[in-house]
Chains A and B, each alone.
Chain A
Amino acid sequence: MFRSNNVTARIFERQISSPAPGTSVHCARRFYENIVPCHTIFDIECPDILFRKFSDDGQYLITFSRNHQDLVVYRPTWLSYSCREQDCPDHDLPSKANKFESFFTQLYSVTLACSGELICKDFFLYSEKNQFGIFASSTAQIHDAPAVGGAIQGIPSIEKITFHLVRLEDGVILDERVFCNDYINLAHSMGVFLYDDLVAIVSLRYQRIHILQIRDSGNLVDVRSIGEYCREDDELFLNSSTQCMSIPGRNRNHNVGNGPDHTNQMPEGSFLSGLKQRLLSFIFRGIWNEEDDPTMRMQCLKKKFYFHFQDYADLVIWKVARNTDNHPAFFAVYNMETTEIISFYQNSADELYTLFELFCDHFHSSSKNSFYMNFLSTHSNNIHALEQLRCNKNKASSLPQFVKKMLSTLPFNCQSQSPSPYFDHSLFRYDDKLISATDRHRQSTDHPIKFISRRQPNILKFKIKPGPESGNADTRTKKISSFLFHPILPLAISVQQTLFLQPAVVNIHFRR
């Protein structure tokens, strides 16, 4: 790698030597040690907007209007000015540097939510290939919704959830998909996963996973709906069998399309949903195959399977990121094409934790379109992050609790990690609890968050201080901070807000 820490020397070295095979990105990243967002503009005057994040290619800054109805998109630019004096670097920045508009140019503002609906301010998924963004708006939640029409008990209902597909280049809404009387976990994109051009939406109320495809033309196309039915023709098959069952005297060559009153003759609840059936048979076969001796086998089955049968049958697809209560949770891997359950683990399984520790990168499953998302620094590819994880594991008071806590983050929320090189553990050391690549609000402190160089130990490279420069006068109110790091430029925004509706303090950190 580079022999000197000096940026000019590194540039010369880059001209004459090529990096070791497979390390060109890591080598280029080391320049981020030299170029850091060391300057802060405190409490910049900015429009009254809610910041979401930078798109993963750094082209757009996604924000929402304060009334949660409009999407406002900015293009990150760079502050530029000219100075004719002699000692320019020591000069203060001109007054226009304190303006939000010097850093970001508004591209457009488009209304997504109609009256009665609000945009979910924590939801945004980006398809890098076409520069499409997916946003969600919804009406209010109804908590004690009755379980009708195939819905399950205990899940609240939202009258209308709309997903909008927007072309970010110009703000045109290309397509929409509406879900009525359903419940989808929208916070931090928990219930939706985007991979390449496929979107998976988990409908909790109806226990289904809807798969949609984003076409290049901008249409959202239904691909499949997994839950009640696993294969695409299951519904057709079951309906035609139902007709044969309920009308025994008639001709067996009935068409399915012969009137809607024929199709719902099945008493509700007589069949388990397709996915649930797959899961139960997987568990059954797993226990069956453990024992050779038939008597032992039956005993094992009785104990492990039939005894817990109702619990297994009552399992609900949840896909939460946080499992704070002590109910056992399970993790299942399902192959969409072969409609088979591949494996099934409890959330305290050591086996699953080992896989999590070794192959964390693969749980992130970044698509082939986004290049830099393949270089997230995790504990599976970085020795420093792994040391931190092991240290936390040893410090934990109870190992099973620690395993449960780690596994409760699975499956990872889509696009929840920032690709910014400043979060690379091999370049910088920082306090994980105060700031990290994960897109979450954190408790704010008054002290600046230090980023210390790894390769030159104890040398502070830059600090990120949220909140006003002189610190907060009121130290008693709880404040939360969120950080938006540009994926490529040495530019970051920190937003500090109190829990009440006071205006947020927005700082811009950049390289001067």
Chain B
Amino acid sequence: MLGSWPSFDPHNFSQFKPNDPANPSKMTPVTYRPTHDRTLPPPDQVIAPEAKNILLRHFYQPAEEKLRSKRAPCDNPSPERASKLPRPSASDNSI
């Protein structure tokens, strides 16, 4: 349909072959390969969406930073989140 339109130079569009649905084009698109590896992602990279919005991330950030930097050297006074166990001396209310 498009091949027979008038054109300025009759040699333009001479190589044009309209798409024939019975005969699908065997051309594969050109693949671009990088010439260097400076921008390659790390092999084990996983990209996932962030569940928390940016404000919540800022709220969580100082807590996570402190935990990361202080966990190794000092002893953390809070116990790991253990399941609830009844304690015999539960009546003291000192911190």
Interface, chain A (partner B; CB < 8 A): 237, 240-241, 244-245, 270-272, 280-281, 284-286, 288-290, 292, 309, 333, 342-343, 355, 359, 362-363
Q: Which residue of A lies closest to B78 (CB)?
A: A285
Residues A288 and B77 in contact, CB atoms below 8 Å apart:
yes
Residues A355 and B58 in contact, CB atoms below 8 Å apart:
yes
Q: How far is the CB of B84 from chain A (nearest CB, A)?
A: 6
Provide the residues of chain A in CB contact with B84, threshold 8 Å: 237
Residues B55 and A359 in contact, CB atoms below 8 Å apart:
yes
Provide the residues of chain B in CB contact with A363, threshold 8 Å: 55
Provide the residues of chain B in CB contact with A270, threshold 8 Å: 91, 93
Given contacts A245-B90, A343-B59, A362 and B66 within 8 Å (CB-CB): no
Provide the residues of chain A in CB contact with B59, threshold 8 Å: 333, 342-343, 355
Given contacts A241-B86, A343-B59, A363-B55, A285 and B77 within 8 Å (CB-CB): yes
Q: Which residue of B lies closest to A333 (CB)?
A: B59
Provide the residues of chain B in CB contact with A237, threshold 8 Å: 84
Residues A362 and B53 in contact, CB atoms below 8 Å apart:
yes
Residues B90 and A241 in contact, CB atoms below 8 Å apart:
yes
Which applies to chain A's interface (DSSP): helix, strand, loop or mixed?
Answer: helix
Residue tally, chain B, CB below 8 Å to A: 22
Given contacts A288-B77, A359-B55, A362-B55, A343 and B62 within 8 Å (CB-CB): yes
* Complex A-B: 10 CB contacts under 8 Å: A272-B93, A281-B78, A281-B95, A333-B56, A342-B60, A343-B59, A355-B59, A359-B55, A362-B53, A362-B56
Q: Which residue of B lies closest to A363 (CB)?
A: B55
Provide the residues of chain A in CB contact with B78, threshold 8 Å: 281, 285
Q: Which residue of A lies closest to B73 (CB)?
A: A292
Residues B95 and A280 in contact, CB atoms below 8 Å apart:
yes
Q: Is B54's beta carbon under 8 Å from chain A? A: yes
Interface string of B23-60 (1 = CB under 8 A from A): 00000000000000000000000000000011110111
Provide the residues of chain A in CB contact with B90, threshold 8 Å: 241, 245
Q: How far is the CB of B82 from chain A (nearest CB, A)?
A: 13
Q: Is B1's beta carbon under 8 Å from chain A? A: no
Complex: how many Å from CA A303 to CA B95? Answer: 16
Complex: how many Å from CA A362 to CA B57? Answer: 11
Complex: how many Å from CA A290 to CA B74? Answer: 10
Q: Which residue of A lies closest to B71 (CB)?
A: A289
Complex: how many Å from CA A240 to CA B74? Answer: 36
Q: Which of B54, B62, B70 contacts A359 (CB 8 A)?
A: B54
Provide the residues of chain A in CB contact with B70, threshold 8 Å: 289, 292
Q: Is B63's beta carbon under 8 Å from chain A? A: yes
Complex: how many Å from CA A363 to CA B58? Answer: 12
Interface string of B62-95 (1 = CB under 8 A from A): 1100110010011001100000101000110101
Q: Which residue of B lies closest to A282 (CB)?
A: B63
Provide the residues of chain A in CB contact with B62, threshold 8 Å: 343
Complex: how many Å from CA A186 to CA B86? Answer: 40
- Of the listed residues A281, A289, A292, A342, the one surrounded by the most CB atoms of chain B closer than 10 A to its CB is A289
Residues B86 and A244 in contact, CB atoms below 8 Å apart:
yes
Residues B93 and A271 in contact, CB atoms below 8 Å apart:
yes
Q: Which residue of B lies closest to A339 (CB)?
A: B81
Q: Which of A245, A281, A284, A342 contacts B91 (CB 8 A)?
A: A245
Q: How far is the CB of B35 from chain A (nearest CB, A)?
A: 30
Q: Which residue of B lies closest to A356 (CB)?
A: B55
Q: How far is the CB of A137 from chain B (nearest CB, A)?
A: 34
Given contacts A237-B84, A292-B74, A284 and B58 within 8 Å (CB-CB): no
Q: Which of B55, B60, B63, B93 contacts A355 (CB 8 A)?
A: B55
Q: Which residue of B lies closest to A293 (CB)?
A: B74
Provide the residues of chain B in CB contact with A290, threshold 8 Å: 66
- Of the listed residues A244, A280, A309, A343, the one surrounded by the most CB atoms of chain B closer than 10 A to its CB is A343
Cβ-closest 6 pairs across A and B: A362-B55, A359-B55, A343-B59, A289-B70, A342-B59, A289-B66
Q: How far is the CB of A251 from chain B (nearest CB, A)?
A: 14
Q: How far is the CB of A190 from chain B (nearest CB, A)?
A: 21
Additional A-B contacts beyond A270-B91, A342-B59 (19; CB < 8 A): A240-B86, A241-B90, A244-B86, A245-B91, A271-B93, A281-B78, A288-B77, A289-B70, A289-B74, A290-B66, A292-B74, A342-B56, A342-B63, A343-B59, A355-B59, A359-B54, A359-B55, A362-B55, A362-B56
Residues A359 and B58 in contact, CB atoms below 8 Å apart:
yes
Complex: how many Å from CA A310 to CA B84? Answer: 28
Provide the residues of chain A in CB contact with B63, threshold 8 Å: 342-343
Complex: how many Å from CA A5 to CA B84? Answer: 67
Provide the residues of chain A in CB contact with B93, threshold 8 Å: 270-272
Q: How far is the CB of B94 from chain A (nearest CB, A)?
A: 11
